[in-house]
Structure 1
Amino acid sequence: MPKINGNEIRPGNVLEHNGSLWAAVKVDHVKPGKGGAFAQVELRNLRNGSKLNERFRSADKVERVRLEQKDMQFLFENDGKLVFMDTETYDQIELPADILGERRPFLQDGMTIVVEFHDTEALNATLPQKVICTIAETEPVVKGQTAANSFKPAILDNGVRVSVPPFVAQDERIVVNTETMEYSERA
């Protein structure tokens, strides 16, 4: 695996540190008045989700790990486990339902997501950036309410609350950005 300097760590990098795999969540480069510069890195353990703050000087070497990404199709949920199928080999894997965190409601039957593997161990799952949802409940359209930045609350068919523009009505299909969990456009 390639070794990188401590000042080359970027958010999203996966590192092998203290015998475990960590994802860099936040990186701040600090140059104190006295002493050498360093990178203050917030790390998240990919296996158990624990967090760690670590300082890396530019002379420190860390191993950067490349994860293999595979497209997998969501099949069903069983006892708190999400079951996915490899679309090429038809192999099935199970991942804990909390791996998606607050984005879990956006997972739909048959949806293709990206699962990241280290050797044969599945470590992370990523939803598509945009998902189409139906509005289950919102306030009716009020004529003449066209202020530039006015939004109204809406509840989607999956139970998630988002803010939508005033012209969007109930039972309409919209595109939601899964990273920011905000309205993107009409479907």
Structure 2
Amino acid sequence: MQAIRRRVFKSLFAASSSCSSYSLGAFRTLHIASQHSAGTPDRLFPLRFLITPWSAVQNRGAKVLGTDVRPGNVVQRKDRIYQVLKAQHTQHGRGGATIQVELRDVDSGNKITERFRTDEAIERVFVEEKSFTFLYTEGHSVMLMEPKTFEQIEVDKDLFGKAAAYLTDDMKVSLQFYDGKPMSASVPSRVTCTVAEAQDPMKGITATPQYKKVLLDNGLTVLVPAFIRSGDQIVINTIEDTYITRAKE
């Protein structure tokens, strides 16, 4: 039985090497089947290693459409690796939509601008993602701490982009690494912010939803329903900088 598992393992790994991506479901299925047959999880280390997201597939490409390209993604173009800095979608009347992206060469640091069709297949490179705790910001540097080892790491504030405004004490953030280098950073997709300034609700509001701009305690401005007042805590979508709901007291 052990010999059979070895042969299956080798064939699966060879298959993953010959294609751009491989379904992790197959590895999970093999892992479960092997557990039933072997009965000793410790003997299945290679299989348990494979089912972790960044083991067999790290640095292997996966085709994604242009519409799915986002800032912070790492893509491969003409045998070079780039990080997506900006992405702007444009609709050309009756013609097809395109996405203009600003890319930074991982090796040289040079920036280029390219335009993709939204239906064009782009080679996306998987990166390793790790969780950290935000400590403080000093100038253009952000200090983070690995929660298990308490090891501190200093990264450039630009890795967070506009999301750096949401950083608060002890916030859980994520760093994306490629080839051991931090490529981008992200905050939770939903955070609670306090409204610093807001106009009082206007009288005579109709049934049609009314919105107004408010200033948050982090300096950002967002649109919120008319009933929101100064001092209210609201939940914000940090990806789109949009109001979700009023926070529960």
With the length of structure 2 as denominator, give the TM-score of the two structures.
Answer: 0.58
**Per-residue displacement from partner, 1:38-61 (whole Å, max 9, x unpaired)?**
x988462264472332779xxxxx
Instruction: Give the greater-gyration-radius structure (CA).
Output: 2
User: Structure 2: which amino acid aligns with 1:8?
Assistant: K
Does the CA contact (< 8 Å) of 1:4 and 1:64 recur in 2? no
Q: Which of 111, 114, 133 is the equivalent residue of 1:53? A: 114
CA deviation map 1:22-70 (0-9, x unaligned): 2465799xxxxxxxxxx988462264472332779xxxxx975321111
- Aligned partner of 2:228 in structure 1 is 168
Rate the CA distance shift 1:167–1:64 in 2: closer, same or farther, 3 A: closer
Residues 82-97 of structure 1 aligned to structure 2 (within 5 Å): 82-97=142-157
**1:61-95 deviation digits (Å, cap 9, x = unpaired):** x9753211111111011231001111122222111
Q: How far, CA to CA, are the matches of 2:159 and 2:221 in structure 1?
A: 21
Residues 62 and 124 in structure 2, CA contact (< 8 A), matched pair in contact too = no
Q: Give, in whole Å, the separation in 1 of the partners of 2:191 and 2:151.
A: 25
CA displacement at 1:164 relative to structure 2: 1.0
The higher relative CO (CA closer than 8 Å, separation ≥ 6) is in 1
Shift in alpha-carbon separation, 1:154–1:14, aligned structure 2, 3 A: same
- Counterpart of 1:33? none
**2:182 is the counterpart of 1:122:** yes
- Whether the aligned pair in 2 keeps the contact of 1:2 and 1:65 (CA below 8 Å) is no
- By how many angstroms is 1:4 displaced? 3.7
Q: Aligned to 2:216, which of 150, 156, 166?
A: 156
Q: CA 1:46 to 1:110, structure 2 compared with 1: closer, same or farther past 3 Å?
A: farther
Task: Work out the CA distance in 2 between the residues paired with 1:26 and 1:180.
Answer: 13
Q: CA deviation at 1:143?
A: 3.4
How do residues 73-152 of structure 1 correspond to structure 2 at under 5 angstroms? 73-152=133-212
More helix by share: 2
Does the 8 A contact of 1:3 with 1:63 survive in 2?
no
TM-superposed CA distance for 1:9, in Å, is: 3.7
Describe the shift of the 1:46–1:73 C-alpha distance in structure 2 as closer, same or farther (beyond 3 A). farther
Q: From the two aligned structures, give the one with the greater strand fraction.
A: 1
TM-score (norm 1): 0.75
Answer whether contact 2:198 2:213 (CA < 8 A) is retained. yes
1:32 counterpart residue number: none
**Distance in 2 of aligned mates of 1:2 and 1:78:** 46
- TM-aligned CA distance change 1:158 to 1:40, over 3 Å: closer
Which residue number corresponds to residue 242 of structure 2? 182
Instruction: Calculate the aligned-residue CA RMSD, in Å.
Output: 3.5
Using the aligned pairs only, state the percent identity. 28
Number of equivalenced pairs: 173
